[in-house]
Amino acid sequence: MRVILSLIAFLVAASHVAASSSPEALRLVDRLQERMAHCRDYQCLICSFERLGSRQEERSYRLFVKDSRLVRVRVTAGRGKGSEAAIDARGRLRGRRGGMLKAFAETLKPEDRRIRSLRGAPFWEAACHNFLKELRLRLTEPGAQSEVEPDPEQPGRLLLLVSRTDTTREKYWIDPQQLQLLKGELFENGLLVREFSVSDVRENVGLSDDFFSF
């Protein structure tokens, strides 16, 4: 009898979790991932804002990605302007400063603050295949709620709304025709703590492995 009651409780809990996950949201993220799987390489410009306690940071950087394994970043505005970092074909993490020191590259450790955002995210997490993978996992967390709706301010675009706890909210703008992620926001306790926008996307430009080595 105790086993039967435990099984019933488990099924009820499982059905509750499943009911809170939007099939439309999962399908949309799956379509974005499928599209990126057919993209050999791409580059884009990302403008970001982050807040951590009383500190705030705005940065812009150009991101280059190939075969979902090679990633290079070049900071164009904000902290570390002119600096670059990359994960090369051998899996090495290399970086160099801008200006006169650009010729001197060094091997970096993953925890190096120079290659992380104010809130601690490393640059390779911004690569679309990595970002979408993590987003997909968050959508399936127990208690996560998500929905897709038309953007009331920009016809033809979609809004993906995600809430994982009582205090955390995520919001993403998506172009359903191009299947591109355009913008994202993260709120904690109603306060905007992260925002990013993606622009100047160029796909399949023929980036070589050597481009990610220095």
Question: Any residues with CB less than 8 A from the CB of 27 and at least 6 apart, and which?
Answer: none
What are the DSSP calls for 119-157, one per residue?
Answer: TS-BGGGGSHHHHHHHHHHHHTSTT-EEEEEE-SSSTT-
- Domain 21-212, CATH among 1.20.140.10, 3.40.50.150, 3.40.50.11900, 2.50.20.10: 2.50.20.10
Question: 58-62, 95-99, 113-117, 202-206: lowest mean pLDDT where?
Answer: 95-99
pLDDT reported for residue 165: 77
Cβ atoms of 41 and 69 closer than 8 Å: no
pLDDT reported for residue 10: 36
Q: What is the 3-state secondary structure (H, E, C) of 177-196?
A: CCCEEEEEEEEECCEEEEEE
pLDDT reported for residue 100: 67
pLDDT reported for residue 148: 97
pLDDT reported for residue 22: 85
pLDDT digits (tens, 9 = 90+) for 83-133: 999 999 999 999 999 876 677 899 999 999 999 999 999 999 999 999 999
Q: Could you tell me which of 3, 31, 59 has the C-alpha nearest to residue 136?
A: 31
d(CA 121, CA 115): 8
How far is residue 96 from each of residues 127, 207, 208, measured CA to CA in Å?
Answer: 20, 20, 19
How large is the average pLDDT for residues 65-78?
A: 96
pLDDT digits (tens, 9 = 90+) for 167-180: 899 999 999 999 99
Q: Return the exposure string of 168-203: e unless at least 16 CB atoms fall within 10 Å of the residue's CB, then b.
A: ebbbbbbeeeeebbbbbbbbeeeeebbbbbbeebeb
How large is the average pLDDT for residues 127-141?
A: 95
The ranges assigned to domains in the chain are 21-212
**pTM for the model:** 0.86
Cβ atoms of 58 and 49 closer than 8 Å: yes
pLDDT reported for residue 17: 41
d(CA 44, CA 201): 4
Question: Any residues with CB less than 8 A from the CB of 208 and at least 6 apart, and which?
Answer: none
Bridge-partner residues for 203, per DSSP?
42
Q: Where residue 53 falls among pLDDT bands split at 50, 70, 90?
A: very high
pLDDT digits (tens, 9 = 90+) for 3-49: 333 333 333 344 344 446 689 999 999 999 999 999 999 999 999 99
How large is the average pLDDT for residues 146-166?
A: 93
